[in-house]
């Protein structure tokens, strides 16, 4: 039965998340944009609250940790589960502030990776901790198969060596999920992820980045030098399965791409709502019944941006809903991420333009959202990587045919 509304049972969660965004995130949004690298201590209390929200319900929470892929959908009926509820929660929180969401303790993408592939034992061991994700290297961004960080088995320990950059929450997290190769000659199949405790002496923080946006979130660069972790710190199987190839490591992304798309949706909606208000003050409103081009150009532009937003939002909900229902969603997850990422950038920049100096100056948040937006079309797979994934799926091409 086709129904694309927010399910009734998630309305309390959405409303809670919206309150958090309104009462906690928005008031400190500008503060931590200016005070880059300062820890938003207001989030500690909030993190406990969100842990409580996650524990207290079977419908998942508002952070990335809630996502765990369904292996089957039980009775075959329609399911609205943790993937969808998490997406909805993230939309609300990022409507508040995406940088602060990324700084939320225990809600990192590393947590999502752990939730996706960890064994029960690992879940127990690392549960309740804050995990960041370290994939990118100076010479390997989108091309994550070519990472140079190595992991060598030495007795009961792996020894990690290499350099990692752009680690979101890398300074503040308890754990870093590090991608490294067991055998650089075996290509992507040999890439595994390892959980490294933040206080491991072999993990050295090089510096924190100064950024265009999401400045509330710390972005760390590390060197791993003879960094020793127990054998049990490897996530998933230690076997180098040439057939399964990269699938295992990449599987995480099918789950996390809709979450990043959700972040973009939240920021986009914030900008659209603010712009609607701003234009109304200026005497411009949108008439839904009248054709776009008979209206004020600003109204027509707003309608166009809202239409893109609506498409991106529904694509994102679709991808999450498919994960809840154990339907393969790699294609839809990338479609959602591509559409949401580019829409977020286009819309937030468009909103600044429509609102003029009011949008551009730091008295409001429009300019901040426009700066925050850009990363959402880059991390968790750039626009171009998403288009590549979508194209390979639609055209039935391998990664060697379509590079």
Partner 1 sequence: MNGNDKGGGIAERSMGFGLRALNRLAGSDLLDRIRVRKQVERALFQGTKQGFRSATAAGRTFKAAQKLGKPARQKPGKPKGLFDITPDDEQQMFQEAVREYAAEKVRPAAQKADADASTPPELLAATNELGINTLGIPEELGGVVGEQAAVGSVLIGEALAHGDMGIAYAALAPGAVATAIGHWGTAEQEATYLPAFAGEDVPAAALAILEPTPLFDPLQLSTKARRKGGEWVLDGTKALVARATDCELFVVAAEAEDLGPALFVIESGAKGLSVEAEPAMGLRPAATGKLILEKVRVPEGALMGEGKREAYVECIHRARIAWCALAVGTAQAVLDYVIPYVNDRTAFGEPISNRQGVAFTVSDIGIETEGMRLTTYRAASLADQGRKFGHEAALARRLCAAKGMKIGSDGVQLLGGHGFVKEHPVERWYRDLRAAGVMEGALLV
The footprint of partner 1 (CB under 8 A) covers: 1-9, 75-78, 80, 84, 286, 288-294, 303-304, 306-308, 310-312, 314-315, 317-318, 321, 332, 335, 338-339, 384, 386-388, 390-392, 394-397, 401-403
Of residues 250 and 387, the one with the C-beta less far from partner 1: 387
Q: How far is the CB of 219 from partner 1 (least distance, A)?
A: 28
In whole angstroms, how close is the CB of 281 to partner 1 at the nearest point? Answer: 20
Q: Could you tell me where the DSSP H helices lie in 61-211?
A: 82-96, 98-102, 109-117, 120-126
Rounded CA-CA distance 332/393 in Å is 10
Q: Provide the 10 A C-beta neighbour count for residue 18.
A: 16
Write the burial class of residue 211 (CB in 10 Å: 0-12 exposed, 13-18 middle, 19+ buried): middle
Residue with tokens 């999401």: 214
Q: Is 121 a catalytic residue?
A: no
Catalytic entry in 36, 42, 380, 401:
380
Q: Find the shortest distance in angstroms from Cβ 107 to partner 1.
A: 23
Contacts 24+ apart (CB under 8 A), 6-15: 6/88, 7/80, 7/84, 9/59, 9/80, 10/59, 10/80, 10/84, 10/85, 10/88, 13/53, 13/57, 13/59, 13/61, 13/62, 13/85, 13/88, 13/89, 14/88, 14/89, 14/92
| Least distance CB 353 / partner 1 (angstroms) | 18
Query: Residue 325: how many CA atoms within 13 Å on its side-chain side?
Result: 13
Considering the complex, state which of residue 49 and residue 311 has its C-beta at the smaller distance from partner 1. Answer: 311
Q: How many Cβ atoms are within 10 Å of 392's Cβ, its own excluded?
A: 18
Judged on CB neighbours under 10 Å (0-12, 13-18, 19+), 193 is buried
Q: How far is the CB of 7 from partner 1 (least distance, A)?
A: 5
Taking each helix axis as running N to C, give the angle between helix 297-324 and helix 82-96, from 0 to 180 degrees, rounded to the nearest 10.
150
The nearer residue to partner 1, 263 or 312, going by C-beta atoms, is: 312
Nearest C-alpha neighbor of 286 from the set 295, 278, 294: 295
Residue among 148 and 296 whose Cβ is closer to partner 1: 296
Residue 199 or residue 288: which is nearer to partner 1 going by CB? 288
Of the pair 35, 307, the CB lying nearest partner 1 is at: 307
Please, which residue, 235 or 315, has the CB nearer to partner 1? 315
The nearest distance, CB 367 to partner 1, in angstroms, is 26
Q: Cβ of residue 376: shortest distance to partner 1, in angstroms?
A: 16
Q: Take residue 133 and report the two structure tokens written for it.
A: 């994700």
Q: What gap in Å lies between CA 362 and CA 369, rounded to an integer?
A: 11
Query: Is residue 167 packed enough to be buried (19+ CB in 10 Å), middle (13-18) or exposed (0-12)?
Result: buried
Residues 322 and 275: their CA atoms lie apart, in Å, by 32
CB of 76 to partner 1, least distance (A): 7
Q: Rank residues 45 and 289 by Cβ distance to partner 1 and give the closer one.
A: 289
Across the chain, which distance is largest between two alpha carbons, in Å?
Answer: 74
Catalytic residue IDs = 380
């Amino acid at each position: 039965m086709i129904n694309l509304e927010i399910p009734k049972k998630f309305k309390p969660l959405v409303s809670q998340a919206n309150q958090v965004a309104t009462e906690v995130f928005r008031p400190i949004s500008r503060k931590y944009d200016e005070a880059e690298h300062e820890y938003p201590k207001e989030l500690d209390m909030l993190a406990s609250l969100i842990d409580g929200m996650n524990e207290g319900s079977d419908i998942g929470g508002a952070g990335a940790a809630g996502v765990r892929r369904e292996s089957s959908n039980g009775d075959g009926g329609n399911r609205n589960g943790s993937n969808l509820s998490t997406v909805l929660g993230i939309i609300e929180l990022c409507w508040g502030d995406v940088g602060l969401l990324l700084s939320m303790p225990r809600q990192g993408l590393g947590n999502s990776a752990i939730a996706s592939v960890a064994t029960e034992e690992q879940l127990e061991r690392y549960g309740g901790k804050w995990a960041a994700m370290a994939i990118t290297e100076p010479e390997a961004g989108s091309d994550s198969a070519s990472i140079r960080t190595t992991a060598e088995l030495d007795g009961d320990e792996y020894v990690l060596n290499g350099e990692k950059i752009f680690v979101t929450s890398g300074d503040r997290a308890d754990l870093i999920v590090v991608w490294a190769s067991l055998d650089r000659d075996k290509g992507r199949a040999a890439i595994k992820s390892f959980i490294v405790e933040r206080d491991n002496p072999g993990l050295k923080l090089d510096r924190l980045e100064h950024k265009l946006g999401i400045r509330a979130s710390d972005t760390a660069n590390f060197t791993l030098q003879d960094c020793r972790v127990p054998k049990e710190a490897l996530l998933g199987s230690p076997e180098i399965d040439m057939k399964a190839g990269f699938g295992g490591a990449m599987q995480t992304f099918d789950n996390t791409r809709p979450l990043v798309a959700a972040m973009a949706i939240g920021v986009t909606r914030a900008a659209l709502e603010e712009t609607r208000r701003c234009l109304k003050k200026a005497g411009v409103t949108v008439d839904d019944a009248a054709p776009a081009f008979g209206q004020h150009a600003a109204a027509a532009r707003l309608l166009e941006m809202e239409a893109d937003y609506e498409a991106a939002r529904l694509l994102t909900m679709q991808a999450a809903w498919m994960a809840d229902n154990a339907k393969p969603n790699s294609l839809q997850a990338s479609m959602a991420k591509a559409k949401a990422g580019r829409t977020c950038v286009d819309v937030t920049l468009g909103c600044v333009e429509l609102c003029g100096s009011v949008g551009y100056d730091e008295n409001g948040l429009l300019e901040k959202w426009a700066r925050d937006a850009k990363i959402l079309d880059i991390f968790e797979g750039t626009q171009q990587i998403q288009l590549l994934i979508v194209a390979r799926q639609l055209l039935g091409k391998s990664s060697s045919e379509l590079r």
